[in-house]
Amino acid sequence: MSSIELTPSQKKILRALTNLHNDAENAIKGEDIAAQVDRNPGTIRNQMQSLKALQLVEGVPGPKGGYKPTAAAYEALEIQQMDEPASVPLEHEGEPVEDVIVEEIDLSSVHHPDLCRAEIHIQGAVGEINEDDRVVVGPTPLSKLVVEGTVDGKDDTNNILILRIEDMVAPAEEPEH
């Protein structure tokens, strides 16, 4: 498992960042995150350095600058949440696949834009799914991430589908009141 173990405060900061970013769409200032998680901006800056090292956050320079979550940030938060494998829908050639549980969506190669791949870890049989088939995974429970792609390969032993990502969306949600 290549999942990143986040400390509780990293999780809190990252979640604040993804929430603010969903609402704002542009880079988020450290001060805004600090206000949201009730820490001082210096603490946030230090944490951001470690989150940048983990490639979960990008720093945006300049007056409109601040921080942006990477695709991996959503994934890391999702993994933290998916200890209870929720039912993440999986569609194969437009048909919902029954009796499978999506355990993890691993976007570890997202940093290579020419190799935009997702590993979909599944409980259940993937025997019917073949290379070049279209697959849609999601929305995930937390960030509502939907990954669409074509099967590039599969590992039947470990029940992993490798998708060439064609589209990846995490829609901004209305905050619940």
8-state DSSP, 12: H
Q: Could you tell me if residue 109 is inside a domain?
A: yes
Last residue of a domain, which of 34, 58, 76? 76
- The reported pLDDT for the residue numbered 28 is 92
Name the more confident of 112 and 156: 156
Structure tokens given for 97? 């696949």
> What pTM was estimated for this model as a whole?
0.52
105 burial (CB, 10 Å; 0-12 / 13-18 / 19+) is buried
- For 88-103, the pLDDT digits (tens) are 889 999 999 888 888 8
pLDDT tens for 57-100 read 999 988 888 999 888 888 787 766 555 556 788 999 999 988 88
What angle do the packed helices 30-37 and 41-53 form, to 10 degrees? Answer: 110
Please say if the pLDDT value at position 132 is more than 90. Answer: yes
Per DSSP, 153 falls in state: E
Q: Which domain holds residue 51?
A: 8-76
SS (H, E, C) 46-59: HHHHHHHHCCCEEE
Structure tokens at 48: 């951001």
98 touches 29 (CB < 8 A) = no
> Of 141, 69, 132, whose CA–CA distance to 105 is shortest?
141
Q: What pLDDT is attached to residue 70?
A: 87
Helix (H) or strand (E) holding 77: helix 71-81
Residues 28, 41 contacting (CB under 8 angstroms):
no
Residues 119 and 59 occupy one common structural domain: no
CATH number at residue 31: 1.10.10.10
Average pLDDT across the chain, whole number: 82
Nearest to 77 by CA among 30, 171, 148, 145: 145
What tens digit of pLDDT does each residue of 2-29 get? 456 788 888 889 988 888 887 776 899 9
Last residue of a domain, one of 54, 76, 98: 76
**Residue 1 binned pLDDT confidence (cut-offs 50, 70, 90):** very low
Q: How many domains does the chain have?
A: 2
